[in-house]
Amino acid sequence: MIDNKSKYTQLIKSEAKRLGFLSCGISKAGFLEAEAPRLEKWLNKNMNGQMQYMENHFDKRLDPTKLVEDSKSVVSLLLNYYPSENQSKKAFKISKYAYGTDYHFVIKDKLKSLLHFIQDEIGEVHGRAFVDSAPVLDKAWAAKSGLGWIGKHSNLLTQQVGSFYFIAELIIDLDLEYDSITSDHCGTCTACIDACPTQAITEPYVVDGSKCISYFTIELKENIPTEFKGKMDDWMFGCDVCQDVCPWNRFSKPHNEPLFNPHPELLQMTKKDWEEVTQETFSKVFQKSAVKRTKFSGLKRNIEFLK
């Protein structure tokens, strides 16, 4: 006879697959002991730059039971965003994750569907859905749930599919079967460290957020420090360099989520088009995109810095 724990675990995983998630792993909710000193050290070295929010809710960030009362399980999910087509080689670049509709909306809807499914099939289960919008250490939970390992570039890596995917979680008050951690397969490779244009990967597994191109082009509200002029590798929103050079990403396969498909104009635009971009074009091409986070003025600032 299959016990309920096993039955519920299989139910959740098969529904996650049906909803289009790449994979689903589950961990016991509790305090992330190994992560606590790492996060503290990272913050003490001001590697969060002006991302002050990283200093907030330190306890909640490390313990999901403080976020969701009586939580028992963290259900981690991956959603592929690797595109079938890339921007023109003659363009200023944006991260692949921002090509289509803002992932927050796409994933939130899928997570809500999964939570409703759990409640319909299993009964009164309470929980919350998270898509990098609350103090949850997504990558740590995904690694703990056996979905991959944290690479030297501090992103989650999976042997079969690389790292071009979003991570999200459901934290629920239901006991389930828990997955085991997978091993690290970075070996002696230092491709990501060697390729980083701003040398933001200060040592294996440590990224100085305050030197990262993604930070400069998205999070930083002031002017980009002049010392990084000429080192931005034409990135105007985000940066994929450390993922692009990673050998595991040769296994990346295009996503099958229509909402992640880019606006057709995005793939055609050249540097000249971007230099002359208007508010109208920005609003049209990035109507529902994560690029809106940097606003038109922010994107113009980034483009000016790259010229």
> Which residues are documented as binding site?
61, 132, 156, 167, 186, 189, 192, 196, 212, 214, 221, 239-240, 242, 246
Beta-carbon contacts of 190 under 8 Å, excluding residues fewer than 6 positions away, are: 152, 204
| Annotated binding residues for tRNA | 221
Answer for the pair 238, 220: CB distance below 8 angstroms, yes or no.
no
Name the nearest CA neighbour of 16 among 73, 75, 68.
75
Segment (H or E) for 305: helix 295-306
Tokens of 278: 């208007």
| Annotated binding residues for cob(II)alamin | 61, 132, 156, 167, 214, 239-240
Q: Which of 63, 70, 102, 132 is catalytic?
A: 132
CA dihedral 195, 184, 170, 168 (to 10 degrees): 20
Tokens of 113: 């569907």
**Residue 135: CB atoms within 10 Å:** 18
Q: Is 173 a catalytic residue?
A: no
Which residue reads 């909710």 in tokens?
A: 29
Q: Which residues are catalytic?
A: 132
